[in-house]
Amino acid sequence: MFEVIEWFVFIIGLILITIGAICDLAGALGLVRFPNFFVRLHAATVGTIGGAVIPLFGIALVSAVSSQLGPFRWTVAGGAVIAAFLIMIVAPAGSHALAYAAHKAKVVPVEPKVCDLLEEHEKRKAKEAEKK
């Protein structure tokens, strides 16, 4: 019974690592093919969250059931989970800061665009300031 659970966890870990590889490929393709800075930033974030955080969780699962590693498997698993959480906190904040700063400084054109809520918000604010 216990062995079956171990195999199950092992296969889930492998699937997570495979998802990570696919996300990395998609992120790399998007980084080359997408039309403007903000969408390319989205592709880069797919590469970090999908391509680094998810496979790290997969590595944690795989190493947790690798009995040949002895007690060190918990070191590997714990390290992988902590690194995954750190990347999960840091990567979105970093890409958010990049996008926000690029939009504020108007260094990249938002073209082609469907809607730009930040620009609308700024325009509304400017109008309110004019009324006052």
Partner 1 sequence: MKGVKILFIPLMGLVVILIMLILSYGTLGYSPAEYIRSLGEFLLRQSFNVFEKEWWVGSPEVITATLWDYRGLDTVYETTVFYLAVIGCVSVFRLLQPKLAEITKEKEEYALTVIVRVATKIVLAVIILISINIALHGHITPGGGFQAGSAFAIAPLLAIAAFSRYFVEKMGLKINLSHALRSLGLIIIALVALLPLFYFGYLLQNQAKPWSPFPGYPIEVSFLELSGSLFHFDIGEYLNVAMGFLAIFLLLSLPERVFKKDMEVVKSES
Residues engaged in binding partner 1 (CB under 8 A): 86, 89-90, 92-93, 96-97, 100-101
* Residue 60 neighbours by CB distance under 10 Å: 22
Rounded to a whole number of angstroms, the minimum distance from the CB of residue 109 to partner 1 is 22
40/103 with CB nearer partner 1 = 103
Q: Give the separation between CA 115 and CA 100, rounded to whole angstroms.
A: 15
Q: Give the separation between CA 116 and CA 30, rounded to whole angstroms.
A: 21
Q: Give the separation between CA 14 and CA 72, rounded to whole angstroms.
A: 20
15/75 with CB nearer partner 1 = 75
13/27 with CB nearer partner 1 = 27
Q: What are phi and psi of 107, to 5 degrees?
A: -85, -20
List the one residue out of 12, 97, 92 whose CA is nearest residue 48: 92
11/86 with CB nearer partner 1 = 86
Rounded to a whole number of angstroms, the minimum distance from the CB of residue 17 to partner 1 is 21
Rounded to a whole number of angstroms, the minimum distance from the CB of residue 3 to partner 1 is 34
